[in-house]
Amino acid sequence: MTTGTSDKKILHYIDKPNVLKEIARKVSVGERISPDDGIALFEQAELGLLGLLADMVRTRNNGTNAYYIRNFHIEPTNICVNKCKFCSYSHHFSPNKWELSVDEILEKVKLQDDTVLELHITGAVHPDRDIYYYGDLLRKIKALRPGLHVKAYSAVELDYMIEKSAMKISEGLEYLKSCGLGSIPGGGAEIFDETIRENICGMKSSSNRWLEIHEIAHRIGIPSNATMLYGHLETYLHRIDHLERLRQLQDRTGGFNAFIPLKFRNRNNEMSDIAEVSVVEDMKMYAVARIYLDNFPHLKAYWPAVGRKLAQISMSFGVDDMDGTINDSTQIYSLAGAEDQNPAMTVSQMIAMITEGKRTPVERDSYYQEMKA
Note the residues at the interface with ligand SF4 (CB under 6 A): 80, 82-84, 87, 89-90, 124-125, 156, 201, 204
Least distance from C-beta 158 to ligand SF4, angstroms?
12
3-state SS, residue 221:
coil
The residue range among 22-30, 142-150, 181-189, 277-285 that interacts with ligand V47, by the rule CB under 6 A, is: 181-189
Q: Is 160 in the site for ligand V47 (CB under 6 A)?
A: no
3-state SS, residue 22:
helix
The residue range among 54-62, 131-139, 261-269, 284-292 that interacts with ligand V47, by the rule CB under 6 A, is: 261-269
Q: Where are the beta strands (DSSP E) in the chain?
A: 65-69, 71-74, 118-121, 149-152, 224-230, 256-263, 298-299, 321-324, 360-363
Least distance from C-beta 21 to ligand SF4, angstroms?
41
Least distance from C-beta 236 to ligand SF4, angstroms?
24
Q: Which residues pair with 10 in a beta bridge?
A: none
Q: How far apart are CA 236 and CA 245, in angstroms?
A: 14
What residues between 56 and 115 interact with ligand V47 by CB under 6 A?
Answer: 86-88
Contact between 151 and 118 under an 8 Å Cβ cutoff? The reply is yes
Least distance from C-beta 164 to ligand V47, angstroms?
20
Least distance from C-beta 124 to ligand SF4, angstroms?
4
Least distance from C-beta 285 to ligand SF4, angstroms?
20
Least distance from C-beta 86 to ligand SF4, angstroms?
7
The residue range among 7-15, 26-34, 262-270, 283-291 that interacts with ligand V47, by the rule CB under 6 A, is: 262-270
Query: Between 268 and 287, how does the x/- string for binding to ligand V47 read (CB under 6 A)?
Result: -x------------------
Q: Which of 51, 76, 123, 185 binds ligand V47 (CB under 6 A)?
A: 185
Q: How far apart are CA 342 and CA 344, in angstroms?
A: 6
Residue 28 contacts which entry, ligand SF4, ligand V47, none (Cβ below 5-8 A, type-dependent): none
Residue 80 contacts which entry, ligand V47, ligand SF4, none (Cβ below 5-8 A, type-dependent): ligand SF4
* Range 232-238, long-range pairs (CB < 8 A, 24+ positions): 232/86, 232/191, 232/196, 232/200, 232/264, 232/271, 232/274, 233/196, 233/199, 233/200, 233/274, 234/191, 234/193, 234/196, 236/38, 236/39, 236/42, 236/43, 237/39, 238/191, 238/192, 238/193, 238/196
> Crossing angle of helices 169-179/207-219, nearest 10°?
50
164, containing H or E segment = helix 155-164
Which residue lies nearer to ligand SF4 by CB, 90 or 225? Answer: 90
Residue 144 CB-density burial (10 A; 0-12 exposed, 13-18 middle, 19+ buried): exposed
Which residue lies nearer to ligand V47 by CB, 53 or 326? Answer: 326
Q: How would DSSP label each residue in 305-336? A: HH-HHHHHHHGGGT--EEEE---S---TTTTT
Least distance from C-beta 226 to ligand V47, angstroms?
8
Q: Which of 51, 172, 182, 186 binds ligand V47 (CB under 6 A)?
A: 186
Q: Which residues bind ligand V47 (CB under 6 A)?
A: 86-88, 122, 185-188, 190, 225, 227, 229, 260, 262, 264-265, 269, 302, 323, 332, 336
